[in-house]
Chain A
């Protein structure tokens, strides 16, 4: 499996990365070499192996359903670029 420059351009767009032509070329080359390394894994028979979702062999600890957070919106909003009356404000998004 290998990626075309067009595909890498699309991935960059989805991640909101702006790549120069040069960067696009070198990124495509780098990504393809990573993919070819990963391709070696495809040679192993994994039919009876549970797919690994996490590198740690542990399971998720669960939290009791209790409210334990206070309203800290004032300090959070102190670092926001723009706020209105308690709302965060962003450039207009039209749907």
Chain B
């Protein structure tokens, strides 16, 4: 039978505020255990939560960016369950009146674009962290993360393949970074994905029973976990079985998903409005102010790159797909506005290839935008050829200095001295009579032979444009 996969994603984006959502404790990652968990985070008696204004602003920013309805009046609820890293016995979240209502976002897969619906986005506090492998007989609890603000972004079940799910997750990931509301660091857990996966016979309207996949901390694992789960469900259904509605944990090491039984019984969270928090009213003034602070979004940036720098649709799309890359390009362009296409090529070519090869993120690149900008400048002003520039780039990557230092130290400056090139050209022509005859009889291709000889004689430093002109003139 042919099956159709249906996927919805729940993304938890940690909002990058200085203090927590309901307390003035710091949110900085990596602090000494429990040093950033104050009385409010611990749920000690007599404390009251007070909502952080920045958290509200950042959630609204997200809502505006996905064309969502903003619920200017929204309410916090208590979600009740017991777990050691949840000291109050409930998580403050939003159920019936979330801050962000229905919205949408466009994703691109190859040549096709598709609109994915966003059901809602609500604010909540994060739980602490349980560490199970530190002690033999105990679970260790670090509550530094407790109370960190999260925006949970819930999509409609609009995705039909693991690839679409990844494209959507990447799009949201880029968007929250553009909006500067989340650092997007998946290793540190600032951006987490849960996937609701079900399958149904192709053509059937009714949705199949879904499983919720948790513990996915990279886009690669997201794709793998979904494909794995689809296979599992197909096997069950084709053998005449039934898929159970449950939460499953993805294990990247064993490459399997397994049932989290503990989550089954506690499915009744008994939500109710938190009496400690009053309903939130976002004033029209605050709404207007947030709208004004909204930065340039990926689509707008893409259009500007095309209009302002004459980039192709494809180049502009790749450069704006991630904020760090767009930022890098914009930094390069400051001193290189005439060579925008060249800048784009170097980012998407040599730089991206080297990052891939060394498995580095752009922010960790050993070559800064200013450094690379200088290199591109040297190609642009004919100091070096594009071919030599690749060697210079490699040396820069290896930390041998700036483009100018390397060009100077290795004597790579392009030879543009007409006299010197002419002497070499004359010698080559004199020594290769048969090839000269071929050229004269109309074999244009043989020109490449002469260029090659000249480049060899100058260690690749002859100015290619000059060389070509001179060869043509002399061979006539």
Contacts and interface: CB of A to CB of B under 8 A. Distances in A.
Interface of A: 10-11, 14-16, 51, 53-54, 56, 58-69, 71-73, 76-77, 82, 84-95
Given A54-B273, A69-B38, A60 B138 contact: no
A85 B260 CA distance: 29
Contacts of A10: 268
Nearest to B84: A90
B53 to A, nearest CB: 4
A89 B37 contact: no
Given A14-B270, A73-B37, A56 B26 contact: no
Contacts of A77: 34
6 contacts: A61-B50, A61-B278, A68-B19, A69-B25, A93-B83, A94-B132
A62 B34 contact: no
B37 A95 contact: no
Interface of B: 17-19, 23-26, 32-39, 42, 44, 50-56, 75, 80, 82-84, 96-97, 130-132, 134-135, 137-143, 249, 260, 262, 266, 268, 270, 273, 275, 277-281
B52 A65 contact: yes
Nearest to B139: A93
Given A53-B279, A61-B51, A93-B132, 16 more contacts: A16-B82, A53-B75, A54-B278, A62-B51, A62-B56, A69-B19, A69-B23, A69-B25, A69-B26, A76-B44, A84-B135, A87-B131, A92-B139, A93-B130, A94-B132, A95-B249
B138 A71 contact: no
A69 B24 contact: yes
Contacts of A94: 132
Given A86-B34, A88-B143, A67 B138 contact: no
B142 to A, nearest CB: 6
A77 B143 CA distance: 12
A46 to B, nearest CB: 15
Given A63-B24, A64-B53, A95-B260, A71 B36 contact: yes
Given A60-B280, A64-B53, A87 B39 contact: no
Contact of B140 (A63, A66, A71, A87): A87
B18 A87 contact: no
A60 B279 CA distance: 6
Contact of B134 (A11, A58, A76, A87): A87
Contact of A60 (B36, B268, B281): B281
A14 B132 contact: no
Contact of A88 (B140, B278, B280): B140
Contacts of B273: 53-54
Contacts of B260: 95
Nearest to A56: B278
Contacts of A15: 80
The 6 A-B pairs at the shortest CB distance, nearest first, are namely A68-B24, A87-B140, A65-B54, A62-B53, A59-B281, A89-B138
Nearest to A11: B270
A10 B139 CA distance: 27
B138 A92 contact: yes
Contacts of B84: 88, 90, 93
A10 B265 CA distance: 10
A14 B52 contact: no
Contacts of B281: 59-60
Nearest to B261: A95
Contacts of B137: 91-92
A67 to B, nearest CB: 5
Contacts of B32: 71, 86
A84 B53 contact: no
A68 B18 CA distance: 10
A14 B56 CA distance: 32
Contacts of A73: 34-35, 37
B51 A66 contact: no
A85 B39 CA distance: 20
Contacts of A89: 135, 138-141
B73 to A, nearest CB: 8
A54 B279 contact: yes
Counting chain B CB atoms within 10 Å of each CB, the highest count among A56, A61, A73 belongs to A73
A77 B37 CA distance: 11
Contacts of A87: 33-34, 131, 134, 140-142
A86 B138 CA distance: 14
Nearest to B87: A88
Contacts of B51: 60-63
Contacts of A71: 32, 35-36
Contacts of B277: 54, 60
Given A61-B50, A69-B25, A14 B278 contact: no
Contacts of B55: 65
B279 A59 contact: yes
A72 B143 CA distance: 13
A67 B34 contact: no
Most chain B CB atoms below 10 A, which of A53, A58, A92: A53
Contacts of B34: 73, 76-77, 86-88
A51 B95 CA distance: 13
Given A84-B140, A88-B140, A60 B278 contact: yes
